[in-house]
Amino acid sequence: MAPKEWFLEADVVRLGAPTQEPVDDRRRQLHLWVARRLLNSVRERRPATTTKYLPPEQIRSYPRLLGELLDLPNGGDEQTVAVIDCSLNHYEDLGENILYSVALCAAGFAASPGHVCIVLLPRLPHSYHSSFWEPLNELSISGGSVLVLNNEGKFKVHGGPRPKAEQVAPGYGQRQQELIGSRQQEFDDKIIRKMGHFEINDEYCSRYFFDGSRTVQELSHLLVDRITHLVGSRPSLARTELIVPETVDPWMEDAVAVASGKLRMRQTKWPSGGDRAAPDPDEHTQYLVMLDFVNTGSTYRRIIKEALGSGYNLHRYAVAAFMARDFQTEDDLPELSPIKRVRVDRVPRRDCVQCKIGLPFTNKDREELLRLRSYDAWEVLSHVPWIEETYGPPEHLRQKSNPDFVRLFEEFGDYLAYKLEMVLRHLVPGSAVAVACPEEPGILAVVKRMQPWADNRIVAVRVPRSVLEKADRSTSAEIRQLAEGHEWSRQLAHLAERNVNVVVVDEQNGSNRTARQMIKVLESFHLRPKAYLPVFNFVPSETLDGVRVVALYDVPRPRRMDP
Amino acid sequence: MDGERIRGAEKPFSTRPDGWNELRLLDSITAGSLDTRINEISDRDWQGPIDLDLSGASSVDITALQYILALLNERGRKQLATAFSVPKAEKVRDCVGAWGFPTAASIVFKSSIRTLLWRGDRPFISERRRLYGKEGAQARRSTNAYARLVETRFFRFGAHVFNTDPQIDSIIEAEWSRWRSPLVMGFLESCLQDRGPEIARVVIYELLVSALRRPRADLVSIIPFADDPDVVRTGEGHLSISVWDNGKTMIEPLRVALDAGAANQPSVPAGDRFHVESSGWTPSVKRYVGGWKPRGDATDEELLLCSLFPVQPQVGERQGYGLRALYRCVIDLFGGSLEVRTGNQLMNLRGWSRGRRRTSRAYQAEICRIGGRQFNGNMITVRIPVSHGT
């Protein structure tokens, strides 16, 4: 007789998000994979298609709502496996009341025989003090069971017939890691290549400055891995100290402090010059030089020269967070091992165009301008080919010559997303915010860059172009009817219900047409956008239909024709 | 003459010719010593203008400064003329400045710092500004996470005013991001190992949310303090976190509910046991064990103990969580202690041990009744032993 089939029901829980979001297909596959490793013959009955979210005010006042949100079946004859996936949240965000609520849901569901609940958490809560385990410890062996898995594949099983958790654990950690991305990927995603006119030293200027301030956590992990790899054995690590210039960027200083704390390694701050001498070296210690950025290499050479002159025993490697792609380590110096090689566009001062036209230096620590500098905007616009528009408005209204925004955002998306986020935070400080945009590749790529910086709490509502086109001629009721059953309409309804601030973003504003359509769609859900933020605005104005307009850069078209 | 004081040799309290009362807070200032000193003042003098004079302090701890914030807020609310004088001893003066006490004082008193500082002490503001400007301009020298936290002024008062839900959201957001910064997480991991993340997840969350939800509260002040690993010789030190709010005492809502005959009183959670040591009052039972609920004749001290426990909701009501997650985490996981100061009560809660052995889920609560003036609001302080592993 064929084994009885199991039915899978899954939920992805997101804490602190202002509304729901679609669940990645790969995550659904992960749920199915876990269930199938655990049980024979599993079929999806209710896969997780959108996230279940708890906004901040509900987390602190009414966390039991989670039970109502998840709505897991109780009883019934069918064999059911439920996945409660909380693994996308930071462990620190999962307060005791939330965890207890998750455990109550899991235990309530698993009280029936033939029910298995899989709880995915970023970490396993402490087994003694956390109330998470209390409802699970009370599960009877005659009922179902609960498997709790953390992102590394560690697990605990409670309740009745024990599922074969050992078969899940090894592959699960790796699969989660693939979905979350490697540390190096996370680091790369969070770096911002700032544009401007940066002073490297007395001889050179640079077009770019690499800002690692949003990736201290990832950088510290990568530094630990790199140092461990370069130095090797535990005794060697114990005999190693770091030499760090005393004037590195604050984010590097934080990352080094965290990394040296993890490695229990001391660090020596190397004087930046003047009459202060370096401390005397310890004869039993080997010193590893660590820098934030190696561009021309002058600081690196100076430190090595001074350290060797003072009798320091230097390691044969040195580590840099960033290193200019064209920098070559000289033979007699320790070999530089960078976390990331980057193109810096370094120019000698005498050849620097920005110096020639008298542009002031850019402050690398503090962004002084909210919007783009003209020099940067035009570099961005002229860097990519101008082509006929391939998406957006109907064909007869498309521009014959328009920047290739997909390529533009591939190249400059990090900085433009950073600037857009700055404007967003300036307009809607400190509160939950959602962004609404046309469902088009360019602007979605920019929004995607912004999301990890805000712990994915900036939710994007993607409105399809087909709806926007009909919005002109439709009433609010007709728009809501068009939207019925679609994910974005549920998102807008939730946002309106909770009175969340919504900002409309777009890659460009060519004629106010799409902007008006977006505003109309939002208003049909009783949402008044807080602002409209196009990256480039070819129809500059301060407001549009009463909505504030702030573009990263205004480019008035000399002969504009309104449709 | 501005700033001139008339000092009696030993008198802690004197009145100046201009009518200002000078309350001298001398030597080592703690919340306990403040209790004693405040209660020495007559009600009549208390209503007059007072200079809280810290100039003779040889040390001051964070709970004492929280206590002074509570006093300033109370006096500010009643519009009683108040000033404070900064310590003269350089080390104490530096601490008070670096912890951002003057700014927090001006927020809770709802007045500018210039008006709140005793006249002769006003140069303190420009002196601090110069000092921080100089520090900022100087090259950075910190060589570990603790030093970096000191340098970036993590150990300082965060005083927040709140009246609306969005303000509460932004306070939680601000404190969460402060406690979840990689540097703070790295520091906590280095001294608490894999238990480090529980500080942000449980301790900060529970302390903050309980303060923000307190009836009639519109102010919260939070300050962390950790012993310097380079100074702690044995490698053992403490991390202290103190949160104060200006709401109703933790006892009041329970008393009101009890008087109204509400059925859903908080009760000692099953499996937990509380051994109470009393001072100034008499407990009704020897040990408070799982299921114990207060009756109508419960003392304020018993109600204070009960404020720690969860309330099982009736149909349609929301669950009250009490501070169970907090005391279990602080005491059971970290082996620390928790101190509550509210109304006329002081409670110190720690693990109960028989001989050398810590007994599971058994707690020792020292609860004192303190006569005299009621403390303004609620102050909860946790102390967690940390090992710097030097």
Residue pLDDT tens, chain A, 563 long: 556 899 999 999 998 888 888 899 999 999 999 999 988 889 999 999 999 888 776 776 665 667 777 878 776 778 999 999 999 998 988 988 889 889 999 999 999 999 999 999 999 998 888 989 999 999 998 999 999 999 999 999 999 887 778 888 788 999 998 888 888 998 998 999 999 999 988 899 999 999 999 999 999 999 999 999 999 888 889 999 999 998 888 899 999 999 998 898 989 889 887 667 788 899 899 999 999 999 889 899 999 999 999 999 999 999 999 999 988 877 788 999 999 999 888 899 999 999 999 999 999 878 788 899 999 999 999 999 999 988 888 888 888 888 999 999 999 999 999 999 999 989 987 667 899 999 999 999 999 888 877 766 788 899 999 999 999 889 999 999 988 888 899 899 989 988 889 999 999 998 899 999 999 999 999 999 999 999 999 999 999 999 999 999 999 876 555 54
pLDDT band (50, 70, 90) for residue B105: very high
CATH number, domain A186-348 = 3.40.50.2020
Closest residue on chain A to B168 (Cα): A57
Decide which of A271 and B4 is more confident: A271
Q: Cβ separation of B142 and A253 shorter than 8 Å?
A: yes
Coil, strand, or helix at residue A237? helix
- Domain carrying residue B91: 9-139
Give the model's pLDDT for residue B152: 87
Closest chain B C-alpha to A98 CA, distance in angstroms: 11
Quick one: three-class SS letters along A114-179?
A: CEEEEEEECCCCCCCCCCCHHHHHCCCCCCCEEEEEECCCCEEEEECCCCCHHHCHHHHHHHHHHH
Residues 6 or more apart in contact with residue A298 via CB below 8 angstroms: A201
CATH number at B82 reads 3.30.750.24
B139: pLDDT strictly greater than 50? no
DSSP secondary structure, B172-230, as one string? HHHHHHHHTSHHHHHHHHHHHGGGTHHIIIIIIHHHHHHHHTSTT--EEEEEEEE--TT
**Nearest CA distance, A263 vs chain B (angstrom):** 9
- For the segment(s) A374-554, the CATH number from 3.90.1170.50, 1.20.210.10, 3.40.50.2020, 1.10.10.10 is 3.40.50.2020
Res. B169: pLDDT tops 60? yes
Residue showing tokens 């204070």: B304
**CB distance B360 to B353 below 8 Å:** no
Residues in A touching B139 (Cβ below 8 Å): 246-247, 269, 271-272
Which of B135, B138, B140 is best to mutate for the A interface (most A CBs within 10 A)? B140
Question: How far is A7 from A4, CA to CA, in rounded Å?
Answer: 10
pLDDT for B314: 54
The model's pLDDT over A446-472, given as tens digits with 9 standing for 90+, comes to 998 888 777 667 888 999 999 999 998
- Rounded Cα distance, A100 and A118, in Å: 15
Amino acid found at B112: S
> Is the CB of A220 less than 8 angstroms away from the CB of B186?
yes
Maximum separation of any 2 CA atoms in chain B, in Å: 67
User: Per-residue confidence at B3, pLDDT binned at 50, 70, 90?
Assistant: very low
**Residue contact B139–A257, C-beta within 8 A:** no
Of B182, B319, B389, the CB nearest to A254: B182
What is the structure's pLDDT at A557?
75
Position A431 scores a pLDDT of 65
Distance, in Å, from the CA atom of A354 to the CA atom of A360, rounded to the nearest integer, reads 8
User: Could you report the per-residue pLDDT of B19-37, keeping only the tens digit for each?
Assistant: 888 888 878 889 999 988 8
Per-residue confidence (pLDDT) for residue B190, from 0 to 100: 87
A128, A253, A262 ranked by CB distance to B333: nearest: A128
Q: Is A378 on the interface with B (CB under 8 A)?
A: no
Interface test mutation site (partner B, options A134, A258, A265, A453, max chain B beta carbons within 10 A) = A258
The answer to whether residue A264 neighbours chain B at the CB level (below 8 Å) is yes
Residue B7 has pLDDT above 50, yes or no: no
Q: B318, A93: Cβ pair inside 8 Å?
A: no
Four-CA torsion A332, A337, A343, A345, nearest 10 degrees: -40
Domain boundary among B88, B110, B139: B139
Q: How far is B275 from chain A (nearest CA, A)?
A: 19
Tell me what percent of the residues of chain B surpass a pLDDT of 70.
Answer: 89
Of B141, B146, B169, which to mutate for an interface test with A (greatest number of A Cβ within 10 Å)? B169
Other beta carbons within 10 angstroms of residue A170's beta carbon come to: 10
Asked if residues A457 and A17 have their Cβ atoms less than 8 Å apart, the reply is yes
CB atoms within 10 A of CB B187: 28
In this prediction, residue B8 has a pLDDT band, given cuts at 50, 70 and 90, of very low
How many beta-carbon pairs below 8 A join chains A and B?
124
Q: How confident is residue B277, by pLDDT bands cut at 50, 70 and 90?
A: very high
Distance CA A431, CA A414 (A): 23
Substitution target from A54, A59, A60 for chain B, most B beta carbons within 10 A: A60
A197, containing H or E segment = strand A192-199
The whole-angstrom separation of Cα A130 and Cα B333 is: 9
Q: What is the dihedral of CA B323, B329, B334, B335, to 10 degrees?
A: 50
State how far residue B91 is from chain A, nearest Cα, in angstroms. 25
The pLDDT of residue B5 is 42
ipTM of this predicted complex?
0.86
Distance CA A65, CA A87 (A): 19
Q: What is the pLDDT of residue A408?
A: 94
Average pLDDT, chain B: 86
Cα–Cα dist A270/A310, whole Å: 12
Which residue type occupies A556?
A: P
User: Among B142, B148, B201, whose Cβ lies nearest the Cβ of A92?
Assistant: B201
Q: How confident is the model at residue B321 (pLDDT cuts 50, 70, 90)?
A: low
pLDDT, residue A62, reads: 60
Collect all residues of chain A within an 8 Å Cβ-Cβ radius of residue B202: 95-96
Res. B331: pLDDT tops 60: yes
| Option in A126, A217, A260 nearest B144 (CB) | A260
Residue limits of CATH 3.40.50.2020 in chain A: 186-348, 374-554
* Residue in chain B nearest A127 by alpha carbon: B333
B9 confidence band (pLDDT: 50, 70, 90): very low
Out of B92, B120, B139, pick the residue that ends a domain.
B139
Banded pLDDT at B390 (limits 50, 70, 90): very low
User: A468-504 b/e with 16+ CB inside 10 Å = b?
Assistant: beebeebeeeebbebbeeeebbbbbbbbbeeebbbbb
Task: Quote the number of domains for chain B.
Answer: 2
Residue B191 included in any domain: no
